[in-house]
Amino acid sequence: MAAAIITEFHTIVILYENDDLIAVDKPIKLASIPERNREKISLLKLLSEARQQKLFVVHTLPSSMGQLRKTVVPSTNL
């Protein structure tokens, strides 16, 4: 079974991880990044809190690319 980050409302499945990036299956209704309100729940916020480190979104695939929606987030500073 793949690793996952489980929160009260979301399960974020980790598809791939190494020292430089994390690829996840993002839940459909969860925003990748916070918009104007930095306190709003987003994938970036949940992953950063779970990993206790600053992360950055580098790429997302639109849902039209298939069922699997992945967001790649580096786990170290670029």
Q: In angstroms, rounded to a whole number, what is the distance separating the alpha carbons of residues 55 and 44? A: 7
Report percent pLDDT > 90 for the chain. 0
Confidence of residue 68 (pLDDT cuts 50, 70, 90): low
The per-residue pLDDT for range 20-41, each reduced to its tens digit, is 888 888 888 888 888 766 667 8
The conformation of residue 9, written as its DSSP 8-state character, comes to: S
C-alpha neighbours within 13 Å on the C-beta side of residue 76: 5
Instruction: Quote the pLDDT of residue 29.
Output: 82
Confidence of residue 9 (pLDDT cuts 50, 70, 90): confident
> So where are the chain's domains?
4-73
Q: Which residue has the tokens 């499945």?
A: 13
pTM comes to: 0.69
Cβ contact 53:75 at 8 Å: yes
